[in-house]
């Protein structure tokens, strides 16, 4: 495993991180906590040291599962968690709908202390605002509170995670977070099939010295071989709900797989799988510190963790890649 610095924080995160949402919610197929604990432990053994979670994942499970899996290794791992969705006072969530958000100074401090308790730690390495809109990023008191928590030693760095689904408004949100708030990190959706946010934000991040964390690097399964022409989605799969009709599901699947066919030259004799090539494409951007693939079984964990050491994409390969500047594929 290779490691990169998160902005200028001194924190060295693994190029391949672990998005804990796959093992702490029921939206991606892992329903047994013991399987999630095992995957997290194996990830650590393979050199993954960055674990990205959120307080709202499984209403706290996304944090407590890290203690169960990696509690004895707290000083050897870096934990990123998120804040903003008030699941303490709003418990009537239906499916994957967004809960009400609260970014008030009092709530930020309250939620942080609750996360610290669940994580069994005195500090959080990276504290991220969870899907903040532009009005939140424009509120000075939000970032004054984050600076206060940093001075108190409760957090080591802070950033924003933009979402939930990819949206053009996130360009303005990311730009404001980097240029106005000088955040340490910006988390976005970016992959071979959906490059819009990266095309606009990476140059700004390089100038502002903010690092990027990238999620959905495989376009919700299109780029790692887990979505095939015959694949169907059950109701507990988050993609089932993101695409409103069966016809749109088929369209997303068919259009995406046609685009994937154009990328097969990245595999073959290169020593990479397509899933690994998709990760190396993102890591070819120097402002990216860590990529967060969806890991939910041993096979994917082994494949993705090994991506850090497969051959980089060549300049010739990069020049052959089509630019996909749109928002339609990932769910």
Q: How far is CA 304 from the centre of its chain?
A: 14
Number of neighbouring beta carbons within 10 Å of residue 161: 24
CB 6 within 8 A of CB 23: no
Distance CA(285)–CA(35), nearest Å, equals 33
Catalytic (active site) residue 296: no
Cβ(159)–Cβ(187) below 8 Å? yes
Q: Is 214 helix (H, G, I), strand (E, B) or coil?
A: strand
Closest CA to 195 of 6, 329, 75, 10: 329
Tokens of 32: 């047994």
Q: Which tokens belong to 144? A: 């004054």
Closest CA to 295 of 113, 69, 5: 69
Q: Which of 57, 127, 190, 331 is an active site residue?
A: 57
Six token digits for residue 44: 């650590």
How many angstroms separate the CA atoms of 177 and 86, rounded? 22
- The whole-angstrom separation of Cα 64 and Cα 48 is 18
Smallest CA-to-CA distance from 81 within 121, 42, 48, 41 is with 121
Residue with the two structure tokens 């080591």 = 156
Work out the end-to-end distance of the chain between its first and last CA atoms, rounded to an integer number of angstroms: 28
| Contacts of residue 56, Cβ cutoff 8 Å, sequence gap at least 6 | 62, 82, 85, 87, 99, 130
Dist CA 258 CA 253 (whole Å) = 9
Active site residues: 57
């Amino acid at each position: 495993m290779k490691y990169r610095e998160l902005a200028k924080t001194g924190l060295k995160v693994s190029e391949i991180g672990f998005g804990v949402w796959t093992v702490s919610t029921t939206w991606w197929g892992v329903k047994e906590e013991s399987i999630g604990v095992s995957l997290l432990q194996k990830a650590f053994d393979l050199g993954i040291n960055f674990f990205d979670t959120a307080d709202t994942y499984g209403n706290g499970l996304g944090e407590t599962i890290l203690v169960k899996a990696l509690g004895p290794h707290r000083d050897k791992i870096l934990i990123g968690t998120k804040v903003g969705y008030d699941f303490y006072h709003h418990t009537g969530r239906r499916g994957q709908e967004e809960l009400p958000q609260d970014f008030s100074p009092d709530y930020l401090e309250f939620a942080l202390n609750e996360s610290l308790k669940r994580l069994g730690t005195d500090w959080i390495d990276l504290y991220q605002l969870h899907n903040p809109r532009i009005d939140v990023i424009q509120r000075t008191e939000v970032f004054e509170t984050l600076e206060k928590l940093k001075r108190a030693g409760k957090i080591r760095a802070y950033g924003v995670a933009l979402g939930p689904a990819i949206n053009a408004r996130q360009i303005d949100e990311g730009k404001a977070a980097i240029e106005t708030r000088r955040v340490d990190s910006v988390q976005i959706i970016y992959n071979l099939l959906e490059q819009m946010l990266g095309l606009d934000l990476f140059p700004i991040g390089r100038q502002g010295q903010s690092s990027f964390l990238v999620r959905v690097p495989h376009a919700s399964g299109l780029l790692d071989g887990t979505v095939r022409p015959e694949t169907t989605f059950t109701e507990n799969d988050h993609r089932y709900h993101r695409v409103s009709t069966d016809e749109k599901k088929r369209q997303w699947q068919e259009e995406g797989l046609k685009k994937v066919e154009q990328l097969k030259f990245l595999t073959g004799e290169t020593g990479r799988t397509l899933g690994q090539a998709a990760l190396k494409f993102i890591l070819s951007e120097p402002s990216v510190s860590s990529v967060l693939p969806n890991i939910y079984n041993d096979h994917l964990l082994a494949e993705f963790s090994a991506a850090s050491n497969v051959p980089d994409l060549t300049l010739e390969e990069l020049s052959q890649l089509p630019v996909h500047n749109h928002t339609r594929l990932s769910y």
